[in-house]
Chain A
Amino acid sequence: MSNNNLIKGSLQTIILKLLEENERMYGYEITQRVKELTAGEIKITEGALYPALHKLEAEGLLSTEIQQVDNRVRKYYSLTKDGQKEVHSKMSELQSFVENLQRIINPGLKPDFSL
């Protein structure tokens, strides 16, 4: 599955979840981590990643930190306190969406997901 439209709606949740697990990450590292976790099935495009990161930063969910790496400056993103709270609500929102989607795709599913 590499449909960008499907990923778009959950990109912020993906970023928040990764940062919850990794404390701090930089842009490229996020794209690589997603690629690694999904064995290359999901690729976050740069075109979507940076606007999403900057939006989350503007909303106060992410904080940034700069660090000198070799001969360049690297910008690390990490969760703020508000961001940490937001991860849980976004994750349960996404989980219930996936469950509902499963029910639509497979109407034979019982509420406990057994056939």
Chain B
Amino acid sequence: MRKLTDKELQAIQDSIRKKVLSSAEIIMEIYDHYVSHLQEYPKEEFEKQLLELDQKFTYSYCHRLQFELNNYVRTDIGKTQWMVIKKYFCFSRWLYLAGILAILFYVASLAKSEKELKLLFFSPLVLLIAMFIFLGVQWLRKILPIRKLFKGNGVSIESSFSKQFILRIHLPLSLINFIFYVPGFFPENIYSFLSSPSTIALITAIFVLYVISLLEVWKIKSKTALL
């Protein structure tokens, strides 16, 4: 096994760049395969071996891998989050759940105005935005070196996992935006229903569970993915 020169590493990166991949996980797996393979051969055989690898890792093959990984990640994150949420309803954790509900119902009953209720309602969203910023910094730390390595790839390189997380963070924000800022789409009585303290407390509890579960999924997945 020999150490590849900078020029050779550059040639490998150029070769992978031509595949126009966007999934950081797939790019890194292919890159590791190329480097591990080419390290086994003498300098004179580098060009020939690189060409052989390119014939194996064709554009369509790499994109099929990327497509399948994205599909897998989508279902995997959904499944993991559902598994985490189900755990909150287990006997050992019911006290936490009851505690959160009791606190939220109590705070909602104390609210004197609609403004205070709205504040309670939007509090998990603030948590969601804070989580988005925190996770964003973590993702960037892992993705930036890869982006730098494959600069000029043609498409933005992202972790297949982080894309799904961003989508799941945006989902409740978009839903609330839709309910409150698209007037006339929902019947008028939905707004009076949404201003009742107990409804607000319940919706807030659901959002809190959603945010905490998403954070737990991140904790699980960050050990095994570029998150």
Mask, B67-99, CB within 8 Å of A = 1, is 011001001100000000000000000000000
B43 close to A (CB within 8 Å): no
Q: Which residues of chain A come closer than 8 Å to B146, judged between CB atoms?
A: 73
Distance in Å: Cβ of B25 to nearest Cβ of chain A: 7
Q: In the complex, what residues of B have CB within 8 A of residue A57's CB? A: 72
Q: With an 8 A cutoff between CB atoms, is A12 at the interface? A: no
- What number of A residues sit within 8 Å (CB to CB) of B? 24
- Interface residue? B224 (CB, 8 A): yes
User: Among the listed B37, B64, B76, B149, which residue makes an inter-chain contact with A58, where contact means beta carbons less than 8 Å apart?
Assistant: B76
Q: Is A74 an interface residue (CB 8 A)?
A: yes
Cβ contacts under 8 Å, B226 to chain A: 66, 73
Nearest chain A residue, comparing its CB with the CB of B35: A72
Query: What secondary structure prevails in chain B residues at the interface with A?
Result: helix
Q: Of B9, B32, B69, which one neighbours A27 at CB under 8 angstroms? A: B32
B65 part of interface (Cβ distance < 8 Å): yes
Q: A6 to nearest B CB, angstroms?
A: 19
Residue of A nearest to B56 (CB): A46
B33 and A28 form a contact (CB under 8 A)? yes
Whether the Cβ atoms of B29 and A27 lie closer than 8 Å is: yes
The answer to whether B76 and A45 touch across the interface, beta carbons within 8 angstroms, is no
Interface set, chain A 40-67, CB cutoff 8 A to B: 45-47, 50-51, 54-55, 57-58, 63-66
Please state if A69 and B32 are interface contacts (CB–CB under 8 Å).
yes
Are the CB atoms of B56 and A75 closer together than 8 Å?
no
Report whether A28 and B61 are in contact in the complex, using a CB–CB cutoff of 8 Å: no
Q: Does B57 belong to the interface (CB within 8 Å)? A: yes
Q: Contact between A50 and B29 (Cβ–Cβ < 8 Å)?
A: yes
Which residue from A26, A45, A54, A64 sits with its C-beta under 8 Å from B32? A26
For residue A55, which residues in chain B have a CB less than 8 angstroms away from its CB? 68
CA A71 to CA B145, docked complex, whole Å: 9
CB-CB under 8 A for A74 and B32, given A45-B56, A66-B226: yes
A54 touches B33 (CB 8 A): no
* Chain A residues in 8 Å Cβ range of B9: 71
* Cβ-defined contact, B72 with A54, below 8 A: yes
Cα–Cα, bound, A27→B35 (Å): 12
Question: Is there an interface contact between B72 and A73, defined as CB atoms closer than 8 Å?
Answer: no
Chain B residues, Cβ within 8 Å of A51: 64-65, 68
Question: B10 in the interface, Cβ–Cβ < 8 Å?
Answer: no
Q: Given contacts A57-B72, A66-B225, are A47 and B32 in contact (CB under 8 A)?
A: no
Q: A51-B68, A58-B76, A66-B225 are in contact. Are A73 and B56 (CB under 8 A)?
A: no
Name 16 interchain pairs, CB-CB below 8 A, sorted by A. Answer: A27-B29, A27-B32, A28-B32, A28-B33, A46-B57, A50-B65, A51-B68, A55-B68, A58-B72, A64-B224, A65-B224, A66-B226, A71-B9, A72-B31, A74-B28, A75-B29
